[in-house]
Amino acid sequence: MYKKICSKYEPTKDNLIHILHEIQDTHPQHYISDEAVEEVSKYLNLPTNHIYGVLTFYSMYSTTPRGKNIIRLCESPPCYIKGSENILRKLKVLLGVETGETSKDGLFTLELSACLGVCGNAPVMMINEDVYGDLTEEKVEEIIEKYRRAQ
């Protein structure tokens, strides 16, 4: 599977980021495993330690398995001022996880993120590719419920 993804790209170093993204996006657990890194290492002729360095440098990559839906709550100052701490507390309670963990049912992983670029609607979070702004504790509850029902 990883070989197939690699083969879509020219085997040059500058494709590393793209290959890693596609591997992560197509993995049901949204992460990049040891085996994937070893395969990419062979394909690009890059040592695994270099790839691991890149993987851990960018917060968008994960080296551990994650849930079906990835929640990224903004932790930048504007969102903080508008109460992102309360949202975070609410999310932790709703999902039964700490930051960085995945809920028991495998549905959600809770992460913090740098600025998402919609400070006008602070506090903001993303779930997968969708942005949710002007969050309140009630609104968060509804949103999570929506995703649970969609399951």
Q: Which residues bind another protein (CB under 8 A)?
A: 34, 37-38, 41, 47-53, 56-57, 63
Of 57 and 129, which has the nearer Cβ to another protein?
A: 57
Pairing between β-strand 69-74 and β-strand 108-113 as defined by DSSP bridges: parallel
Of 58 and 96, which has the nearer Cβ to another protein?
A: 58
The minimum distance between CB 50 and another protein, in angstroms, equals 6
Say if residues 105 and 65 touch (Cβ distance below 8 Å): no
The minimum distance between CB 47 and another protein, in angstroms, equals 4
Closest listed residue to residue 73, CA positions, set 129, 103, 111? 111
Of 53 and 117, which has the nearer Cβ to another protein?
A: 53
The minimum distance between CB 48 and another protein, in angstroms, equals 4
- Output the CA–CA distances (angstroms, integers) from residue 15 to 9, 51, 92, 132, in the order listed: 7, 12, 36, 31
Of 56 and 128, which has the nearer Cβ to another protein?
A: 56
Cα torsion for 48, 54, 56, 62, to the nearest 10°?
Answer: -80
Say if residues 71 and 125 touch (Cβ distance below 8 Å): yes
The minimum distance between CB 20 and another protein, in angstroms, equals 14
Distance CA 34, CA 133 (A): 36
The minimum distance between CB 98 and another protein, in angstroms, equals 16
Of 41 and 121, which has the nearer Cβ to another protein?
A: 41
